[in-house]
Amino acid sequence: MEDCIFCKIINGEIPCFKVYEDDRVLAFEDINPIAPGHTLIIPKNHAENLFEIPDEDLAAIHLASKKIARAMKKALAPTGIACLQLNGKGANQVVMHYHFHLVPRHEGAPELPITAWELKPGDMQQIEETAKKIAAALND
C-alpha cells in the first residue's frame, strides 16, 4: 500500500534490521525499542489491524512469534517476553499496518505499565453483562 511505512520496508524501499522472513511474514527490530531486542512481526500483505487481517496471515504471525521468542530466549536470556498488539488509534496504534510486538524483559528494566496493571476486582454484574453482549455479538 502506498504511503505505508511497513509496506515500504517489505518492498525494500526503506531498510530494516531483519531477524526473520517467510512467505507470509517479515520480522525486524523496532527502531524505537522499549528494550534491547524489541521486535515487530508484520504480514507481507497489507492489513490495517485485527479486524482486517486474513486468518492465514494471523496464524503465520503467531507461529513466527513462537520461533522468534525461542530464539530471543536463547540469544538474550530475558526474564520474560511481552507480546503486544494495538488496534486502532483509540488503542494508540501509530503505524496502520498490522504488527505484533515482542518485547524481551530483563530484571531491573522499567515496568511496562500495560503489563503491570493493578488487580482491582470489578463489578461482577457489569462484567457478566459485558460478557453477554460480546457473546451475543459473536452469534450475530
Residues designated as active site:
99
Among the listed residues 123, 131, 118, 108, the one whose alpha carbon sits nearest the alpha carbon of residue 35: 108
By a kind-dependent CB cut-off of 5 to 8 A, residue 24 interacts, out of Zn ion, ligand AMP, none, with none
Size of the site for ligand AMP (CB under 6 A): 13
In this structure, the strands spanning 39-43 and 25-29 are antiparallel
Which residue from 1, 18, 22, 31 is in contact with ligand AMP, where contact means CB under 6 A? 31
Which residue from 7, 20, 30, 105 is in contact with ligand AMP, where contact means CB under 6 A? 30
Residue with cell 457489569: 126
Tell me the per-residue interface mask from 80 to 109 with ligand AMP, x by CB under 6 A, - otherwise: ------x-----xxxx---x----------
Binding positions for Zn ion, rule: CB under 5 A: 1, 4, 6-7, 46, 97
Residue closest to ligand AMP (Cβ): 32
What does each C-alpha distance from 96 to 13, 25, 31, 49, 93 come to in angstroms? 17, 16, 16, 7, 7
The residue among 95 and 114 lying less far from Zn ion, judged by its C-beta, is 95
Among the listed residues 38, 63, 43, the one whose alpha carbon sits nearest the alpha carbon of residue 53: 43
